[in-house]
Amino acid sequence: MTEVRTPKRSGRGLAGLSGLSYDLLMASAERRMFAAIRKDLLASTTGRVIEVGGGTGANLLHYPRGALEHLDVVEPSESMAARFERRRPRWALLHPGSAEELPFPDATFDAAVGTLVFCSVPDMERGFAELRRVLVPGGRFHFLEHVRSQRPRVGSWQDRLDGVWSRMCGGCHANRRTVEAIESAGFEVEHLDEREVGWQGGLVRDFAWGIARSA
């Protein structure tokens, strides 16, 4: 197994937290919302799969193991990766790296997964371009992210407080138009769900998840 080192770009919201602290912070939200979304979102993953920003391994229980040939997970945070490694099944491989510079050849994977990570990838557009590069033509990207609020007043506050929020939360941006960026990278969104919830003091409110096909 390659030694995991922390690269210059974190690509992980709340990156200042240890893997354990991150799990404790997210435990309630996982039970109330995210676990069910992950299960539905990942149910159709098949073949060769790449996950970017695997964090501490929240998705591992939800992959349809019998449908996967193998799973390659890229995680830049040393603390997150250490916790992931303790949970890692034999059929998954963990790699250090960032979403913007994936260490794989073109057209390597049938599916890609990114959950609660692109809010903090420094160059989100480059990250989506990299995912499209490593996917086979027609490959699918399964995503779950918090996004800029559709409410004008809330979106305006997200814009105004973005610098402060980002510094406080390890590079996280609450105001990203993530679905639009996925489409701009050359993906066609085939399925999309959205939900407004109260989370992290109200600045993070809207979530979007779905499946996009590499056009």
CATH number at residue 129: 3.40.50.150
pLDDT at 4: 33
Least confident of 21-35, 69-83, 108-122, 150-164: 21-35
- Evaluate whether residue 199 is within a structural domain: yes
194 pLDDT band (50/70/90 cuts)? very high
d(CA 84, CA 73): 10
Average pLDDT, the chain: 88
Distance in angstroms between the alpha carbons of the first and the last residue of the chain: 34
Q: pLDDT tens-digit profile of 131-166? A: 999 999 999 999 999 999 989 999 999 999 999 988
- With respect to residue 144, please indicate whether it lies within any of the assigned structural domains: yes
Burial pattern 119-142, b for ≥16 Cβ within 10 A else e, equals bbbeebeebbbbbbbbbeeebbbb
Reported as a pLDDT band with limits 50, 70 and 90, residue 100 is: very high
Mean pLDDT, to the nearest integer, of 64-80?
94
Cα angle for residues 111, 75, 72 (degrees, 5° grid): 35
Query: DSSP secondary-structure letter at 116?
Result: S
Distance CA 57, CA 75 (A): 10
Counted domains in the chain: 1
Identify whether 4 is part of a domain.
Answer: no
Percent of the chain with pLDDT over 90: 72
The 204-214 sheet, strands edge to edge: 92-95, 68-74, 47-52, 109-115, 135-147, 204-214, 187-199
Tell whether 92 is covered by a domain: yes
Question: Which residue segment(s) compose the domain that 78 sits in?
Answer: 19-214
Q: Residue 10 — very low, low, confident or very high, per pLDDT cuts 50/70/90?
A: very low
Residue 105 has a pLDDT of 98
| Banded pLDDT at 28 (limits 50, 70, 90) | confident
| 28: Cα separation from own chain's centroid | 19
> The whole model's pTM is what?
0.89
